[in-house]
Structure 1
Amino acid sequence: MPTEPRLADGVRLALTTFTTAPVRAGRVDRATAGTAMALAPAVGALLGVVLGGALLLAGALAPPLVAAGVTVGLGALLTRGLHLDGLADTVDALGSYRRGPAALEIMKQPDVGPFGVVALVVVLLLQTAVLAELAGRDAPAALAAVVAATAAGRLAAGLACRRGVPAARPEGLGALVAGTVGWGAPALGALAVALLAAPAVPGRPWQGPLAVLAALAVAAGLLRHLVRRFGGITGDVLGALVEVVTTLSYLGLVLTG
């Protein structure tokens, strides 16, 4: 496939996978999926600009906690709640202490178990609390923090799709994207996310990059554990990594600020 059509199809797939953007679907195959996963941090950065702008706007009209709640809700709306659903399903499977196909069956269940509910409550509370704190800070720093954390979360999904990481099932999103990303794109993505995070902590430009890179390091360890438990990645695993890294990045940026 020519490079330009593949890039265009990859952009479309990245947008439709990570957002609710009304984009016409293009060709979907493993080559296109690899391009989409490599572009995931860029889509995350764009989403972060929207969410950061919403936080600042809402913060000018309402108390910080209300602005934070609106922003978290908007983030779920603009992603169809898919990453949150993946987090709940993944934590339910982990909480069952089952492995392989038995764990995957739990992830396929339409309901959410107690472990998943607790995970959702904790993540949403933490994100709301952090955004409330950011709403009261300098606007450029707050915007940089939201953009960097949102981009870092999507970069985690791209890292999980690197070569050598298998799919847990022979079908589904995991099978489409597993092993499609080389090391070059994630390395560039990590550098870009680190640069985006630098303005998030005024006066200490090294602390923002350190916070997001530490969150990605935690995700790498979590990914290894999930692959051992499930046999590979699934779409739910990707969603869980997005939410975990986004939340940890937020926490790191606030605690170092």
Structure 2
Amino acid sequence: MSVLRVRVERWDRPTAGRAMLCAPVVGIVLGALAAAPGALVAWRAGGLLGAVTAIAALAALTRGLHLDGLADVADGLGSGKPAEDALRIMKQSDIGPFGVLTLLLTLLAQIAALAGQFEHSAWRGALSVLACAVAARCALAWGCLRSVPAARPGGLGAMVASTVAPAAALAVSAAAAVLLALAGLTDGWSALRLPLALVAGLLGARLLLRRCVRRFDGITGDVLGATAETAATCCLLMLALAS
């Protein structure tokens, strides 16, 4: 889930399910690491550059993995081809026009929404970065519910698909909402806005997940990456609209 190295002593489906539930913890770490330089640049050079710095840091910390998934899913959905052919398109290493357009608009939306938060204050911008990173990782657990199958037999999607109980995903998301609310207390109104933004992010990711499952007959690693980016974007848009 990141470029940060960890020791892995066991990797099977039960472990994969627990990893998806622990993903928001990774979101907290990455969100904090991206928020710090973003807030510093915003303080010295303005909110727009601060937003670009934070979004670039998040991309670097994941080596663009989720953005790559978003582009692949856009190409697959945009192809209009049957599931098998769409999955083949998604697996190719190149990127098509649908992927380019989706990446461009998504990154512009994230930067524009986050810039407004940094313009208000460096601290509010930092909290927004944290919220979108956590929302993105909460979406991973919901994408791996037991009711969601894998689209193909191999790959990351097959390893993590159908490994998370709905109650566990709900509990993790609720805990994340509480933590964001507590963090938001340092900025007054953010105590309410951050949990609401998390919910908005998860709803946006759920809509994309539903579309992908219908279109591809299940999930892949690319689908999970796309839902993570969708959750982050919807979270930031909600924060911008609520400002």
Contact 2:71 2:98 in 1 (8 A): yes
**Which one of the candidate residues 51, 72, 81 is aligned to 1:68?**
51
Q: Provide the residue aligned with 2:75 in structure 1.
A: 92
Contact 2:118 2:126 in 1 (8 A): no
1:223 and 2:209 correspond: yes
SS at match of 1:136: helix
Query: AA paired with 1:47?
Result: L
Contact 1:168 1:234 in 2 (8 A): yes
Q: Provide the residue aligned with 1:131 in structure 2.
A: 114
Q: Give the alignment of 1:109-188 within 5 angstroms.
A: 109-188=92-171
Q: Using the alignment, how far apart are the partners of 2:190 and 2:110 within structure 1? A: 22
- Structure 1: stretches of 5+ with no match in the other structure: 1-17
Offset from partner CA, 1:167-212 (integer Å, 9 cap, x none): 0010000000001111232112221232244328733643332222
Number of equivalenced pairs: 240
Contact 1:31 1:180 in 2 (8 A): yes
Q: Using the alignment, how far apart are the partners of 2:193 and 2:49 within structure 1? A: 27
**1:49: how far off?**
1.1
Q: 1:26 to 1:112 in 2, by over 3 A?
A: same
* RMSD after superposition: 1.7
Q: Give the alignment of 1:34-73 within 5 angstroms.
A: 34-73=17-56
Moved more, 134-143 or 237-246: 134-143
Query: AA paired with 1:252?
Result: M
Offset from partner CA, 1:59-78 (integer Å, 9 cap, x none): 22323222221221111111
- Structure 2: stretches of 5+ with no match in the other structure: none
Moved more, 146-155 or 57-66: 57-66
Q: Using the alignment, how far apart are the partners of 1:137 and 1:204 within structure 2? A: 12
1:208 and 2:194 correspond: yes
Query: AA paired with 1:149?
Result: C
Q: Provide the residue aligned with 1:237 in structure 2.
A: 223
SS at match of 2:120: coil
Q: Using the alignment, how far apart are the partners of 2:24 and 2:193 within structure 1? A: 20
TM-score normalized by structure 1?
Answer: 0.88
Q: Using the alignment, how far apart are the partners of 1:164 and 1:256 within structure 2? A: 33
Contact 1:148 1:193 in 2 (8 A): no
- Runs of 4 or more off by more than 6 Å in structure 1? none
Q: 1:68 to 1:62 in 2, by over 3 A?
A: same
Identity of aligned residues (%): 46
Contact 1:90 1:237 in 2 (8 A): yes
Offset from partner CA, 1:202-248 (integer Å, 9 cap, x none): 33643332222122122222211110100100000000000011011
Moved more, 242-251 or 122-131: 122-131
Q: Using the alignment, how far apart are the partners of 1:209 and 1:102 within structure 2? A: 39
Moved more, 238-247 or 47-56: 47-56
Q: 1:83 to 1:149 in 2, by over 3 A?
A: same
TM-score normalized by structure 2?
Answer: 0.93
Q: 1:156 to 1:219 in 2, by over 3 A?
A: same
Offset from partner CA, 1:89-148 (integer Å, 9 cap, x none): 000000011232111011011110000000000111111112222222234433222212
Contact 1:141 1:202 in 2 (8 A): no
**Which one of the candidate residues 222, 234, 237 is aligned to 1:251?**
237
SS at match of 1:39: helix
Contact 1:144 1:196 in 2 (8 A): no
